[in-house]
Amino acid sequence: NAGVTQTPKFQVLKTGQSMTLQCAQDMNHNSMYWYRQDPGMGLRLIYYSASEGTTDKGEVPNGYNVSRLNKREFSLRLESAAPSQTSVYFCASSPHGVSDTQYFGPGTRLTVL
Amino acid sequence: GENVEQHPSTLSVQEGDSAVIKCTYSDSASNYFPWYKQELGKRPQLIIDIRSNVGEKKDQRIAVTLNKTAKHFSLHITETQPEDSAVYFCAASRNAGNMLTFGGGTRLMVKP
């Protein structure tokens, strides 16, 4: 099993550009999450999908949108990137919600100039 | 919402010593408390978790204690080794909720 995979690993954008971060898991997990990690601030939840067909806002959703394409895939879109969105983005999945072990992907390092 | 505070932000110990990291949480309904380890440039990985129906859990050199009354929980690492050097994150969530709230992290450095 590959676990949780993310693409791309690195990305540099100019202010105002858009892009989609891709995430997929092959563990048949119901729940998926997108976090951002900034220095000294831990991991903050952007959006989550408790199950296929549902998505909800997390702690810091402004400037982002998500799509739960199917049970395996959960994408994060930045419509108009801003320098404040420079961060490392992690996707995670868990079998049945937040009280299960979350398995993280390798992360995407995004820089917005 | 839930607020999780973690201390200290950095911790340096000699190899073989013990390390203790403490977290406090604000939501009395929280009942799941995992700890994640993140090595430099790597993804976070779960190392141990505890649920509110127990006060302590051990796994080899790692233990976690929970004080529900005081709303704090701690990670204890004994006989530290250089490979324990990493950033450790605590987190909290409630069973019926959908968010895992993380602390700010502790950078542990184990000196050989």
Interface membership of B54 toward A (CB under 8 Å)? no
Q: Using an 8 Å CB-CB cutoff, list chain A residues near B32.
A: 98-99
Whether residues A101 and B49 touch (CB distance < 8 A) is answered with yes
User: According to the model, what pLDDT value does residue B6 have?
Assistant: 96
Mutation site for A-interface testing, chosen from B27, B99, B106, B107 by largest number of A Cβ within 10 Å: B99
**Please, are residues A40 and B9 in contact by the beta-carbon 8 Å criterion?**
yes
Q: Please provide the DSSP assignment of A30-73 as one string.
A: SEEEEEEE-TTS-EEEEEEESSTT--EE-S--TTEEEEE-SSSB
User: According to the model, what pLDDT value does residue B97 have?
Assistant: 66
Whether residues A59 and B99 touch (CB distance < 8 A) is answered with yes
**Please, are residues A81 and A15 in contact by the beta-carbon 8 Å criterion?**
yes
Which residue stretches of chain A have pLDDT < 50?
none
Report the residue from B51, B93, B103 with minimal CB separation from A98. B93
Query: Rounded CA gap, B102 and B99, in Å?
Result: 10
Query: Rounded CA gap, B112 and B110, in Å?
Result: 6
**What are the mean pLDDT values of chain B's consecutive 10-residue runs (112 residues total)?**
93 98 95 95 95 90 96 97 97 81 96 94
Report the residue from A56, A98, A101 with minimal CB separation from B46. A101
User: According to the model, what pLDDT value does residue B102 have?
Assistant: 94
Nearest chain B alpha carbon to A40: B104
User: According to the model, what pLDDT value does residue B1 have?
Assistant: 81
Lookup result for tokens 């978790």? B49
User: According to the model, what pLDDT value does residue B96 have?
Assistant: 65
Query: Rounded CA gap, B74 and B5, in Å?
Result: 11
* Minimal CA separation from A43 to chain B, in Å: 6
Q: For chain A, what's the residue count?
A: 113
Query: Rounded CA gap, A32 and A21, in Å?
Result: 14
Query: Rounded CA gap, A73 and B80, in Å?
Result: 39
